[in-house]
Each structure stands twice: as structure tokens, then as C-alpha cells.
Chain A
Amino acid sequence: MSVTLIFLAVIAAIAGWWLSQQRMLSKPWLEVGQHHDTRPQGPRPIEPAKIGLGVFLAVVGALFTLFISAYFMRMASTDWWSTPMPKLLWLNTAVLASGSLMLHAAKVSAERHRDDASRTALIAALALGLAFLVGQVFAWRELTDAGYLLTGNAANSFFYMITGMHGLHIIGGLIALSRTILATRKDPIDAKATLSITLCATYWHFMLAVWIVLFALFSGWANDFIDLCRQILT
């Protein structure tokens, strides 16, 4: 569970930093009146949706961290043989990364009111997202054809389960992205639609980061890291 604890420590650090701005040491009974509220007094300091997405990504992060923790703990068993990485995964990574780039472009274009460029980039991101999913399915088929079946070894089971879970999150993202594309059809792209694009972009960057971590995990680069963790623990 050390990976999970490290993740939680990061969350705790963020929470602690935020709490430290909240005058947690003040004596509230001595402070009567309105001027003690130091929050910026505007109509919309930060969009709630952005905060909401941030919290949601923390939950998703916890989910994948726990899968990774389980992976490491199960790895300690003697019957573990790593699953080979299909070469196709490199291509898939590139596809996912370009999707991320496209969404970033869409966000920047929307902010600069270059609506058509933004729309094109969104469609491209959607296509790249679908391509990634198709690529993942092909990677699965390549593995099963090579005889690495789900029940063959726990490493295979983890590979299919965790990539599947990542794929489900991508599907969720694609649904949100499709809705965003529908919202941008009217002219011009308004603030609300721009917000949607920003949220999609953030989500995509995060899922890319999760994928890169998973890739490192499955290809064994993370092993050095585990050894380091083990050394610290023992």
C-alpha cells in the first residue's frame, strides 16, 4: 500500500496547504462582522466545475493508485511472470498524447475566439480518442493470440483489468467530449462551451498521465521504483 500512501500524502499536502490559507488558528468568537471573509468578492472567483473536476480526478487518481498498489502486492507471489508489451502500445500512447494536444489546441483557440479551429481540433481529439480505444482492443487481441490469456497469469489479469478500467474512463471522457462538440455547434462558442472544452482538456491530460504511469508499470520500468520503495521499507 506504499504507493497509495504516497498518493494520499500528496493529497494531504494539498489539503494542508489549502487549510493553511484558511486562518485555522484564528479565534472566530472574537471576530464579528463581515470583513473577516478574505475570499475574493467577485461573481465567480473559480468555476465550481473546475474544482469539481479537480476533486473527481483525485478520486480517479486514488482508484488507479490502489490498482497499482494491488499490482505490486500481488507481484510478490512466486507465480508471477510479466506480460510482454505489444509494440502497438507505443502507437496508442502517441495517439492518446496527440488527442491531448488537440484538446489543448481546441482550448487555446476557443479562448482566442478562433471558433472554427477549435471545432476542428475537437473533432480531431474525438477521432484520436476512438482510435486509441480501437488500438487498445487490437493490443488485447495481439496478446490473446500470443497465448497470454486473462486467467493465464496474474500479470495478464492485471493488464487486462487495469487497461480496461482506463478504457472505461476514456469512454466516459468521449461521451463528455461529444456533448461538448454538440455545445460548440452554435455560433459563437460561448463561455459555457469554452469551460466545457477546458474541462475536457484537463481530463484528457490527466488520463494521459495515468496511461503513462500504467505503461511504465506494465513494461517493468516501475520495478526499479518498487525496489527503491522496498529498500526504504526494510
Chain B
Amino acid sequence: MAVVVILVLLAAGSVLFHLLSPWWWTPIASNWNYIDNTLIITFWITGVVFVAVVLFMAYCVFRFRHRPGNRAAYEPENTKLESWLAAGTTLGVAAMLTPGLFVWHQFVTVPDGAGQVEVVGQQWLWSFRLPGADGKLGTSETRDISPENSLGLNRNDAAALDDIVIEGGELHLEIGKPVKMLLRSVDVLHDFYVPEFRAKMDMVPGMVTYFWLTPTRTGTFEVLCAELCGVGHPQMRGTVVVDSPEDYQTWLASQQTFSQLMAKAQTKETAQAGNAAPAR
């Protein structure tokens, strides 16, 4: 009988835990509330099935537990019942899959006119790049990475020179503006993960991956890495700030372009060379 009690408690406890526990997802800050909705549908369907199966089991154990003189019924199969169950299950599965596939179609279809932001992962640091005045990201190559050109931008590409480069700093996004996140890694797999955005995607060295979102709430959000990338994995943090349009423009104006960074590095180099000369 203990089994029956425990099974009932377990089903009821799980439901109560789901309803009463303080642990739920973070308030959303992007357009992907569709994902949340699909998740809710899934919770409902699977929750009902779970409770039904466990309670049915508990009832069976209670009602048909062994008592002296009992004998089990003889029923090899019941094709009709099995067909109904199969049909019902198929229906439930379809009810979860169909909205899922629709939302996935949205997820992989970047809207026209979305802005572009490049995120570059390396052990264990986030860097970002925004297109400059020309609105285009220049080409880049892992082979071109050097201490002064840490993202490996192509110096001979005019589109790259005006790109805004943020090494290890904060990324700002403009509220309400769809943006395509282009993801790149220079060493191992990483994953650009902001829980409030819901969307995430691995960053793979040797290729550019992407996802898109529209920020819907201003605020400061933490970036985490969600793909094991070595011992520093949990320390690989960054910050994304969603700004109002005015704040965004102010921030943007204070950032440095690739050519400015290069010029700075060059003057530093010459200065160092100048300092080093007398010592020799």
C-alpha cells in the first residue's frame, strides 16, 4: 500500500512543485515569447500525460494487488484500444510539433532589414563587432589574427576599416530593432547565451553561425557561454545592454573603429621601438 501512497504523492507533489516553486524562467527581453508559448503548450500536454499514467498505475496497484485467491485476467491484446491510444498520442505529439515547427521557421528566417552584430568567442572572452558607417561588416580570417588585430579583420577590405570593434567590453543593442547575431569563434566551441533572449547558438571555429532577435526590454543582461570550452568555461561572462534609441546612439558614438584601433596600436609600437632603441 505504501507504493500507492507514494505514487499519488509523487504525482501530486510534482504538480504542486511546478505551480508553487519560485523557480521559473527569467522575464523575457526579446521577441521569442513564441518559444515560451510552445514550451507552455508542451508543459500542459506532458503534464496531463504524466499525472494520468502515474495515477492510473497507483489505481491498478491498489485495486489489483495480490490477495489470496486472486487470479489475473487473461487478455493478450486489444487492438482497438491500442489503435485509439496510438491515435491519441499522435494527436498530442502533432499538437506540440506543429507550433514548434512554425516558430522554428521564424527562428531561422531573418527578417529583411535586420541589423548585424558579430560576436567573437575566444578562451575565455567575448568580443563584438558592429558594421561601421557603410553598414557592412568587413571580411575576417582566423589566420590574420595577431596581437594588434585580435579579431583577424582583413586590413585590405575597405568595409572592415570602419567596423566598430569592442574587445572584451559591453555590447549595446537598440530596443525594438531586429538584429542578426553573427557568431564566430577563433579557438574552440562556445555558445552565445543570454537567458533573457531565449535564443542561443553555438559558435564554431572555421564557420559563421547566426540567430536573430528583436530586443523588447531595456536593461543590462549577462552573457554566458553555454558550450563547454575548457576550464575557464564558467568564467566566460559578458554584458549586453539593451538601450533606448537615444542612449544607443550616444554609446555608438563613443566606440572606436578598426582603423582607429590600428592607428593607436601603430603609434604604441613606434613609441615602444623608440624606447627600446637606447637600451640597445
Contact = CB atoms under 8 A, between A and B. Distances in A.
A29 interface: yes
B76 interface: yes
Contacts of A27: 76-77
A29 B74 CA distance: 11
Contacts of B76: 27, 29
Interface in B66-100: 76-77
A27 B76 CA distance: 9
A146 to B, nearest CB: 26
Interface string A70-98: 00000000000000000000000000000
A166 B76 CA distance: 51
Nearest to B206: A77
A69 B76 CA distance: 45
Main secondary structure of the interface of B (DSSP, over half): loop
Contacts of B77: 27
B104 to A, nearest CB: 19
B53 to A, nearest CB: 26
Interface residues of B, number: 2
Interface string B8-38: 0000000000000000000000000000000
Interface string A16-48: 000000000001010000000000000000000
A26 to B, nearest CB: 12
A23 to B, nearest CB: 16
Contacts of A29: 76
B226 to A, nearest CB: 25
Nearest to A27: B76
Nearest to A30: B76
B72 to A, nearest CB: 14
A29 B76 CA distance: 7
A117 B214 CA distance: 80
A27 B77 CA distance: 10
B232 to A, nearest CB: 28
A27 B75 CA distance: 12
A29 B77 CA distance: 10
Nearest to B75: A29
A157 to B, nearest CB: 16
Nearest to A77: B206
Interface in A168-216: none
A32 B77 CA distance: 17
B83 to A, nearest CB: 15
A230 B98 CA distance: 28
A113 B76 CA distance: 55
Interface string B130-170: 00000000000000000000000000000000000000000
B78 to A, nearest CB: 13
A144 to B, nearest CB: 26
A77 to B, nearest CB: 8
A27 B79 CA distance: 12
B97 to A, nearest CB: 22
Nearest to B207: A77
Nearest to A79: B206
Nearest to A28: B76
B44 to A, nearest CB: 35
A28 to B, nearest CB: 9
A130 B33 CA distance: 66
Interface string B227-246: 00000000000000000000
A12 to B, nearest CB: 22
Nearest to A29: B76
Interface string B203-237: 00000000000000000000000000000000000
A102 to B, nearest CB: 48
Interface in B38-82: 76-77
A10 B273 CA distance: 68
A222 B76 CA distance: 52
A73 to B, nearest CB: 13
A49 B215 CA distance: 65
A131 B76 CA distance: 62
Interface string A119-146: 0000000000000000000000000000
3 contacts: A27-B76, A27-B77, A29-B76
Query: Considering the complex of A and B, which 3 residue pairs feature the smallest CB-CB distances, nearest first?
Result: A29-B76, A27-B76, A27-B77
